Amino acid sequence: MAEILDGTNVSEEIIHELKEYFSDKKTKLATILVGNNYSSEVYVNMKKRKCEELGIDFELIRFTENAGEEAVINKINSLNLDSNVKGILVQLPLPKMMNTKKILNSINPKKDIDGLTAENLGLLIMGEERIISCTAKGIIRLMEKYNISLKGKKAVIINNSFLVGRPLCQLLLNKGATVTICHELTKNLKEHTLSADIVISAAGIPFLIKEDMIKSGSVIIDVGITKKEGKLTGDVDFDRAKNRCSYITPVPGGVGPMTIAMLIENLRIINERTP
C-alpha cells in the first residue's frame, strides 16, 4: 500500500513560516481574471482566501471575455508601474481570441509571480531557477519533503503546457531525472508510464492512469482536477493505483494546496528582491 503524499500537511508547514514572514509587511498581489471559467473562479478564490489569511492585499481585476487584449495589457502596464503591487498574476486559460503569450509577456518579469514570462521561463531552461511556475515547483517540493530521490530516475509527465509540463520537465532535468513528456499525439501512453519511476499526470482526464499502467513501486503524482458528479476527481484511479505504487498524491489534498503555498512563496521571493 502506497504512502500518501500529503500536500495539505506539507503546504500548511510552508504557509505557517510564510505567515510569520508576511506578518509585518505590506504586500499586494494583483490578479487578473478574464471571462467566466468555473475552474478559474475556484482557483482564484482559493488564492484570495490564502492571501487574506496571511494579511496580503489581494486585488482582483475582472474583464469580460470580449474586453479585448489591449484593455488587459493596458491594465498590466499600469500594475507594472504601481510600486504597491509586488506580484501580478493572470489566471489561465484566457479566452481563445486573446493572445496569451502577448498578455503574459506584458508583465514585468520582476513581478511575474507565476514565472510564465519568456524571461523567467528562459532562465529556467538555462538552469537558473528564479521565479518558477507554482504547480511545477510545488510537485518538486512535495517529493523532496518525502525524500524521494530524482537522480537518474525515469520521469513521465503527461502535460505539454508551459504552465505545468514544460517547467516541470526542466526542474526534473535539473535534479538529474530522465524526462519524457507525453501529450495528445503520444502513441501507447501505457508503454511510457509502465517503465516510469515517477508518473506525473496533468491531463484533466479522470481515470486516465489505471493500475495496469503503473510500474510496481513507482511514484504517482496526480495534478488533474475534474468535477465529476459533484466530486473532484484526479487523472488517476487512486483506489486501485495505491496498491501498486510506493507513493501517491490524493485529489484533493495533493498538488493543489502545494500550488497555493508556492504562489505565496514566490511572492516572498519577489518581496525580498524589491522590499
| Residue with smaller CB distance to ligand GUN, 193 or 259 | 259
For residues 108 and 271, what is the distance between their CA atoms, to the nearest angstrom?
14
Identify the active-site residue in 28, 47, 86, 137: 47
Whether 170 is a known active-site residue: answer no
The site map against ligand GUN for 152-171 (x = CB under 6 A) is -----------x--------
Task: Name residue 231's amino acid.
Answer: K
| Residue with smaller CB distance to ligand GUN, 250 or 256 | 256
| Residue with smaller CB distance to ligand GUN, 91 or 233 | 91
- By CB under 6 A, the count of residues binding ligand GUN is 10
- Interface residue with ligand GUN, options 15, 134, 156, 241 (CB under 6 A): 134
Identify the active-site residue in 75, 86, 91, 137: 91
User: Residue 160's closest CA among 182, 185, 191?
Assistant: 182
Provide, rounded to whole angstroms, the least separation between the CB of residue 214 and ligand GUN.
Answer: 25
- Interface residue with ligand GUN, options 85, 88, 90, 223 (CB under 6 A): 90
Q: According to the binding rule CB under 6 A, does residue 249 interact with ligand GUN?
A: no
Give the chain's length: 275
> CA triplet 173, 174, 178: central angle to 5 degrees?
20
- Interface residue with ligand GUN, options 112, 114, 237, 265 (CB under 6 A): 114
Provide, rounded to whole angstroms, the least separation between the CB of residue 191 and ligand GUN.
Answer: 29
Whether 75 is a known active-site residue: answer no
Residues 29-88 that bind ligand GUN (CB under 6 A): 43
Catalytic residue annotation: 47, 91, 114
Binding site for ligand GUN (CB under 6 A): 43, 89-92, 114, 134-135, 163, 259
